[in-house]
Amino acid sequence: MSKRVLTTESGAPVADNQNSATAGVGGPLLLQDQHLLEKLARFNRERIPERVVHARGSGAYGYFEVTDDVTGFTYADFLNTVGKRTEVFLRFSTVADNLGGADAVRDPRGFALKFYTEDGNYDLVGNNTPVFFIKDPIKFPDFIHSQKRDPFTGKQEPDNVWDFWAHAPEATHQITWLMGDRGIPASYRHMNGYGSHTYQWTNAEGEAFFVKYHFKTNQGIRSLSSEQGAEIAGKDPNSHQTDLLQAIERGVNPSWTLYVQIMPAAEAADYRFNPFDLTKVWPHKDYPLQRVGRLVLDRNPDNVFAEVEQAAFSPNNFVPGIGPSPDKMLQGRLFAYADAHRYRLGVNHTQLAVNAPKATTAQNYGRDGLMASNAQGRAAKNYEPNSYDGPAETGRPLSAPLAVNGHTGTHEAPLHTKDDHFFQAGELYRLMSAEERSRLVANIAGGLAQVSRDDVIEKNLAHFHAADPEYGKRVEEAVRALRED
């Protein structure tokens, strides 16, 4: 078999890929050895900054198919016909560890979905948990610092993790979730995905609804105990990646059913929980799940770096008919992601194949910048309005307007009648079976007992007591028993 010719990056043939050129046999290298210089220089530049969170992940392509009519609630084009299919890319991730960490760890999982719709890309950047640790974006960098490596010890420190939580009573609900049975998914296929935040849908008549997204796994929920997780993470750090890759290679395509909870906008103000508080769920008896469609993953990316590492999702990428709610956390995220991409991937990251629209084309007057491709606007005018045939605005609002009132200021999110930091955490605890409660208590105590300061332990215990007296008592006893050992 005759092989294709190896070339330099400019396409010139390479004569020798085994021996670098030297001045005489055994002499020093020659600067004129272009192939060697280029090879070493490119190698030095292979890495880009890893994501500041969710560094470690796996991705796959597939499609979303509408199974139920939701046109009464949104005029989003990709949801407007039963049977309509839209191509998607989904990146799963762990949150806290670096790129070289392990998959089978106790940590939330990212569930970042890009719908390549005919109205542009819609990014729904969620997690496998319906709630989150905090509800104001101003706390996010501190929260993440406390969960990642300590600047002095270079490793994750229970002192930092629990000290942050001691000062964040609103995290009690998410901690109860994370330390419970679903805290270590068996694989990316065996967990649900949630939009977590409340979003806004607008129908063709301009009526607004608030929605929460739930992607329920059709593979069934499967999780690992702390002991199983530790064993698998040690033996095969890539366990989730292997599972996803091999399932799709075998044609066992994972799927999820999308349901939404829908709240008419007028009900938001008087709902007993603040519907825009990310640390809370909406009980299903208040707003039942309504089926929307089916998400299927059926194609592995050809190249992990190009398509998974360079994938860029932004909660600010909406399509007409879908928009943000006033959730402060979501609002913070509307800025943070595209800013992260401009740093990590550059201003033209939207031109990379995985990030570019597939069912339409981007047409605007943004130009140039580092790594701009030739196609960008070509000879067309680069200003607007213009007297030529350049792209123009539609004049149609993308989503219904949100009413606002009051004074500017650094306000806490408003509390509704049933809102406090602990009620829903207690409800989750009380839902658990006796065995689940025992595992939850053991998982929390295992971490909390490692904290060096009694006052930090006490503050955390107070949160579990406030959620449910039995919960608090059991965690306290378990921590005491471990510390007396």
Which residues carry out catalysis?
A: 54, 127
CB of 413 to ligand HEM, least distance (A): 13
Which range in 163-171, 288-296, 297-305, 309-317 contacts ligand HEM by CB under 6 A?
A: 309-317
- Of 218, 202, 270, give the one whose Cα is nearest residue 417: 270
Q: What are the structure tokens assigned to 290, written together?
A: 């309504």
Sequence-ordered list of residues with C-beta below 8 angstroms from that of 124, at least 6 positions apart, any chain: 112, 113, 115, 195, 213, 315
147-206 positions binding ligand HEM, by CB under 6 A: 196
Q: Is 320 in the site for ligand HEM (CB under 6 A)?
A: no
Task: Give the residue with the Cβ less far from ligand HEM, 70 or 95.
Answer: 95
Q: Which of residues 321-340 bind ligand HEM (CB under 6 A)?
A: 329, 332-333, 336-337, 340
By beta-carbon proximity to ligand HEM, the closer residue of 212 and 474 is 212
Closest-CA residue to 467 (of 180, 223, 263): 180
Spatial contact of 221 and 191, defined as CB atoms under 8 Å apart: yes
Burial 317-354 (b: 16+ CB within 10 A, else e): bbbbbbbbbbbbbbbebeebbbebbeebbbbbbbbbeb
Q: Map residues 65-104 to x or -, x wherever contact with ligand HEM holds by CB under 6 A.
A: --------------------------x-x-----------
Q: Using CB under 6 A, pick the residue from 56, 107, 126, 474 that binds ligand HEM.
A: 126
Residue nearest to ligand HEM (CB): 110
Give the amino acid at 476. E
Kindly report the number of other CB atoms within 10 A of residue 302's CB atom: 9
Stretch that binds ligand HEM, among 266-274, 311-319, 442-450, 469-477 (CB under 6 A): 311-319
Query: Distance between CA atoms of 58 and 436, rounded to whole angstroms?
Result: 29
C-alpha 301, offset from chain centre:
18
Q: How many residues bind ligand HEM (CB under 6 A)?
A: 27
Element (H, E) at 473: helix 469-484
Which residues within the stretch 106-125 sit at the binding site for ligand HEM (CB under 6 A)? Answer: 110, 112, 125
Residues 5 to 64: which contact ligand HEM by CB under 6 A? 51-54, 57
**Length of the chain measured in residues:** 485
Site of interaction with ligand HEM (CB under 6 A): 51-54, 57, 91, 93, 110, 112, 125-127, 132, 137, 140, 196, 311-313, 329, 332-333, 336-337, 340-341, 344
